Chains A and B, each alone.
Chain A
Amino acid sequence: MTMHRSVPLLRACRYVAAILISLIFFVPMLVAIVSAFKTPAELTDVLSLPAHLDTQNFTTGWQQVGRGVLNSLMITVPAVILSVFIGSVAAYPLSMMNAARSRFVYFFLLSGMFVPFQIVQIPVFYIMRAVGLYNTIPGLWVVHIAYGIPICTFFMRNFFATVPRSLYEAAQLDGCGPAGYFFKILLPASMTGIAALSIVQSRSVWNDLLFAMTLTNSGNTMPVTAALNGFVTAIQVQYGPLMASSIISVIPMLLVFLLFQKAFVRGLLGGSSK
């Protein structure tokens, strides 16, 4: 919507404000970027500029987190796709069934939202070991799917509720069953919502440290967050490489956002406000 009339002065003010706010938001990132190019001696002064662009930090950083980035990708991509899918599967009947029946199940699933993850650590370990998925990357997918159920169901349920009912009726006339409707029509029609949820989920899976620490047992499975954490907790703090590798670790997420941002913006609320 456009609330503002095109008064040139007002427009100019908005530009100034927008630039100012973006600058403020950009400052911490700028500090990180500048620091990533500094030598240890230059780092002692936060506000100084590096004498020359020292890429040593990126080399060190990449050595430390390169493998982690790959691991994180192997964990995140399938985990996000699967958890969004399972959320949709749960949300679909809830959006179609009559309220009285679905209310209890929906409410029950949403209640998972307020469980603090720290308290499920030990039980999760027991379960994963029992099913033989301890210390495997697929084990992490399962955990992220399971703990993503409340948020994904919530999100997709809201999205599906806004898909026009007429679509379903039309599909029925064409002889499409309820399952067929879900796979052939509803899911493809909900791509924007799926994209939006994918970004939210990617961020939480990508940044997860707790489950990764509980369920993996070797450097081959350690995600990038764990590798980054190693920089800060060592007694010789290495802020230069930390900043450089933080930048490296953000790039995949940034790409995801840029790739899907159109859909994200359209899909965040689903059609709910159409």
Chain B
Amino acid sequence: MKAKHQSMQAQRNRVYVLFLAGPVVLFLIAYVYSVGYTVNLSLHSWDGLSPVSKFVGFDNYISLFKSARFENTVINNLKWLVFYLLVPTTLGLSIALLLDGKLKGEGIFKTIIFLPYIITPVAVSAVWRWLYVPDGGLFNTLITLVGFEDLTQNWLGDRGVVNFSVMLAALWCATGFSFLVFYSGLKSIPQEYIEAARIDGASPVSIFWNIVLPQLWPSTILVVGLFGIDAMRIFDIVWSMSGGGPARASEVLATQLYDVGFSTFRMGMASAIGVCQLIMAAVLILPYIMYIARRVEDHGE
């Protein structure tokens, strides 16, 4: 019996290794080799086209760390991270709470709120740029209409405002996802828990804090994780909406990388930006990944 168990164990392990082999090899080639290549490139000066490149050591990094442009970009990326972790998450949760529970036309509401998530960023930014036109655009027209003319903004043209404007458009897109995750999370909370609490005389607020929110923890992990990663990689919406402008005020790491590499032909420097982006993401998201790995263990065997 024991021998049989052991041989089964061995067979199981063989199958597991077989299953993992393909993905791991693919991962090694796609990620490890590529990142190594980029790290190497970041130590060179290369215009991207010449057959030759020159080794420059850490020069690219040194000039990056000295530049005010890079500093501003790092700060912008951090702003995006904070924004993504807080705003679309909370808004998605609120809308999910609002819609949960036998409203008629649920399907329509759900579709409308989710739809922006799947629209391509090029189209999103084209529409939102219209909404943001200072004179005649929807936002300023509405603000003027309700009598707060002083509050009209130069949405994409003011260096102090532009980041928030792009974020608002991103919020429109991202909320659909968090909403749907929370909505399905709410659906799967066992009804008995809430009934029981209600019979015990708990208030809706306390039910929310003590029962609903803990039950939504898996949803929160999913949303926060994916948004955190999106925030560190953010590119499309910024690039197509503001191009990082005006005067580079809304640049993020990925758009700066692109601009440096392909508009001003400094591939080594662009690679250095990429490596910094990678390290930053690793430092900021690593704790989260570790948490996930551990949490999964708790649930596992």
Nearest CB in chain A: distance from B40 CB, A: 10
Size of interface on A: residues with Cβ below 8 Å to B = 103
A96 CA / B11 CA spacing, docked (Å):
13
Query: Which of A47, A112, A206 meets B136, CB within 8 Å?
Result: A47
Q: Which of B93-136 contact A (CB under 8 A)?
A: 95, 97-103, 108-124, 126-128, 130-131, 133, 136
A259 at the interface (CB under 8 A from B): no
Known: A18-B99, A272-B299. 12 other contacts (CB 8 A): A1-B193, A18-B103, A21-B98, A21-B109, A32-B127, A118-B258, A123-B33, A151-B226, A178-B16, A267-B184, A269-B185, A269-B188
Beyond A3-B212, A122-B41, A149-B26, is A115–B19 a contact (Cβ under 8 Å)? no
Nearest CB in chain B: distance from A75 CB, A: 14
Q: Which residues of B contact A268 (CB under 8 A)?
A: 180-181, 184-185, 219, 222
A115 CA / B208 CA spacing, docked (Å):
37
Contact of A46 with B19 in the complex, beta carbons under 8 Å: no
Query: Which of A22, A114, A162 meets B285, CB within 8 Å?
Result: A114
Beyond A116-B277, A124-B30, is A257–B194 a contact (Cβ under 8 Å)? no
| Nearest chain B residue, comparing its CB with the CB of A92 | B19
> Chain A interface: which of B63-71, B151-159, B289-297?
B289-297
A70 at the interface (CB under 8 A from B): no
Nearest CB in chain A: distance from B246 CB, A: 18
Binding site secondary structure of chain A: helix
A129 at the interface (CB under 8 A from B): no
B85 at the interface (CB under 8 A from A): no
Beyond A3-B207, A92-B19, is A242–B126 a contact (Cβ under 8 Å)? yes
Which of B188, B236, B274 has most chain A Cβ within 10 Å?
B188
Contact of B289 with A269 in the complex, beta carbons under 8 Å: no
**Interface residues as binary, A127-157 with B (CB distance below 8 Å gives 1, 0 otherwise):** 1000000000000000101110111011001
Q: Which of B176-225 contact A (CB under 8 A)?
A: 180-181, 183-191, 193-194, 204, 207-208, 212, 215-216, 218-219, 222, 225
Contact of A114 with B282 in the complex, beta carbons under 8 Å: yes
Inter-chain residue pair count (beta carbon < 8 A): 308
Nearest CB in chain A: distance from B207 CB, A: 6
**Interface residues as binary, A232-265 with B (CB distance below 8 Å gives 1, 0 otherwise):** 1000000100110010011001100110010011
Q: Which residues of A contact B29 (CB under 8 A)?
A: 127, 146
- 21 residue pairs of the A-B complex, CB under 8 angstroms, read A1-B212, A25-B113, A25-B116, A26-B112, A28-B127, A28-B128, A31-B131, A32-B123, A35-B127, A107-B293, A110-B293, A114-B232, A114-B281, A114-B282, A119-B34, A119-B257, A124-B34, A158-B218, A224-B120, A266-B187, A268-B180
Nearest CB in chain B: distance from A207 CB, A: 5
A17 CA / B103 CA spacing, docked (Å):
12
Size of interface on B: residues with Cβ below 8 Å to A = 112
Contacts from B to A (Cβ < 8 Å): 11-13, 15-17, 19-20, 22-24, 26-27, 29-31, 33-35, 37-38, 41, 95, 97-103, 108-124, 126-128, 130-131, 133, 136-138, 141, 172, 175, 180-181, 183-191, 193-194, 204, 207-208, 212, 215-216, 218-219, 222, 225-226, 229, 232-233, 235-236, 240, 253-254, 257-258, 261, 270-271, 274-275, 277-278, 281-282, 285, 289-290, 292-293, 296-297, 299-301
Beyond A25-B116, A118-B235, A178-B12, is A111–B301 a contact (Cβ under 8 Å)? no
